[in-house]
Structure 1
Amino acid sequence: MSHVELAPDHILIIEDEPKIARLVTDYLSSSGFSSHHLDHGDDVLPWLEEQDTLPELVLLDLMLPGTDGLTLCREIRQRWPQLAIIMLTAKVEEIDRLLGLELGADDYICKPFSPREVVARIRAVLRRSRATLHQREPGAKNLLVLDEDGWRALADGQDLGLTAVEFQLLRVMMSAPGRIFTREQLMDHMYRDHRIVSERTVDSHVKKLRRKIADIWQEREVIRSVYGVGYKYQPEE
């Protein structure tokens, strides 16, 4: 994964409805954002590949001519994991899938929506994504850093010695700090071969992962249990 520069507060709008695109573009401009608009799914990946500086966030419609939004979301997350993605959808039944880590969406907005809501969601997602990028900065202290190429997790520069499953589990939760993942969602991304495992297996992996983190950070708990639901990565106090 090569390093890419992101243009702060620059948004890529991928929307085929002209009225919605104009409305969002105008409201983003008045809120201090710059933007670029594409209206066809087939144009998105070539456009991104041509850019020296990428947008900081992609506002991506689910239903597009050409390549659909779900496919684009997967491709963008795989090629440019630094980019934040918010999905726009009129299909409420797709929401659970949109937030799945396999697709990589950071958030979703249901149509019809208010432009003010769009701006608020964008600001919230950018705060989270900027915090995640900061974790990768050299010399950062008291932060957990993922080495994607080496499948390692480093706490203050010390290798946690995670197994592949533990690394995948941590990567899922760290992709969306503060978001609660159910055990079922975590299982889906820990085991790509869709093997059948019990929820206790997830609990066991989380317990081992916590123990390895605690060996370095005795006073910090970054993986939190949410009773009756699942787990979340919450680095803030």
Structure 2
Amino acid sequence: MRKTPYNILLVDDDPFILVGIRKELESEGYAVSTADSGESAVDFLQKNNGAIDLVITDLIMGNVDGIGVLETSKQLHPECMVMILTGYGELSSAIAAIRLGADDYMLKPGSPEERCFRIKELINKFELKKKLKIYENILPICCACKRIRDDAGTERGEGHWISVEQFFNEKSKIQVTSTYCPVCFEKEMEKFNKG
């Protein structure tokens, strides 16, 4: 994780929630900005594009609700994580928000421990998304099968997928050998001995 604090934008039209959760998050080491309406959150996001790592927003507010804040966040900075805070009766709306790209939702008021846990999980996802973005720009590797997309001679993203071994052999003339790490070796030996 990085040394500087993560930047969180907390959005709620209830001043007690803004003050309470802000103090809680700052005590955890986060840099917290607040907005008391969806409109002011959208304005803040537009002026500080890319500066916010996580938006925690109330769902039901005035003219611009949590969905509007979510959409603006994702349009301006797709890697930004968004958590929707919602009352019990608004659960179906929170699920709809997940379908629109929200990364998590939490019922209000919620416990500080649960909120802290969920925020840490979102920050971990944020870091992973950033790393994946960096890796995609360097060398596109499938997360599941580990094959590499070879875009040589084609439009970016249009290349064919080949094995790591084939890629290294064709591109760098490095011969890749297959072997087992110690953990996998032990697993294979256990299978062999059982069979």
**Which TM-score applies when normalising by structure 1?**
0.56
Say yes or no: does 1:78 pair with 2:75. Answer: yes
The offset of 1:71, in angstroms, is: 2.0
Q: Secondary structure at the match of 1:70?
A: helix
Say yes or no: does 1:111 pair with 2:108. Answer: yes
Q: Give the corresponding residue for 2:93.
A: 94
How far apart, CA to CA, are the structure 2 residues paired with 1:8 and 1:141?
Answer: 29
How far apart, CA to CA, are the structure 2 residues paired with 1:59 and 1:76?
Answer: 11
In the alignment, is the contact (CA less than 8 A) between 2:59 and 2:94 conserved in 1? no
How far apart, CA to CA, are the structure 1 residues paired with 2:14 and 2:138?
Answer: 43
Match of 1:10 among 7, 10, 21: 7
How far apart, CA to CA, are the structure 1 residues paired with 2:37 and 2:23?
Answer: 20
The offset of 1:106, in angstroms, is: 0.4
How far apart, CA to CA, are the structure 2 residues paired with 1:8 and 1:37?
Answer: 16
Say yes or no: does 1:158 pair with 2:153. Answer: no
Say yes or no: does 1:31 pair with 2:23. Answer: no
CA deviations 1:109-162 (Å, max 9, x no partner) are 0112112211111110110121111012257678449xxxxxxxx964535xxx
Which structure: larger Rg? 2
In the alignment, is the contact (CA less than 8 A) between 2:49 and 2:77 conserved in 1? no
| CA root-mean-square deviation | 2.9
The offset of 1:41, in angstroms, is: 1.0
The offset of 1:217, in angstroms, is: 6.4
Q: Secondary structure at the match of 1:137?
A: helix
User: What percent of counterpart residues are identical?
Assistant: 24
The AA in structure 2 aligned to 1:92 is L
Answer 1 or 2: which has greater strand percent: 1
The AA in structure 1 aligned to 2:94 is I
Say yes or no: does 1:58 pair with 2:58. Answer: no
What stretches of structure 2 of length at least 5 have no aligned partner? 152-156, 166-195
Answer 1 or 2: which has greater helix percent: 2
User: Which aligned pairs between 1:179-190 and structure 2 lie closer than 5 A?
Assistant: none
The offset of 1:75, in angstroms, is: 2.4
How far apart, CA to CA, are the structure 1 residues paired with 2:108 and 2:46?
Answer: 29
How far apart, CA to CA, are the structure 2 residues paired with 1:142 and 1:50?
Answer: 32
The AA in structure 2 aligned to 1:110 is L
CA separation of 1:73/1:53 partners in 2, compared to 1, >3 Å: closer, same or farther? Answer: closer
The AA in structure 2 aligned to 1:158 is D
How far apart, CA to CA, are the structure 1 residues paired with 2:84 and 2:53?
Answer: 14
Match of 2:122 among 121, 125, 138: 125
CA separation of 1:94/1:31 partners in 2, compared to 1, >3 Å: closer, same or farther? Answer: same
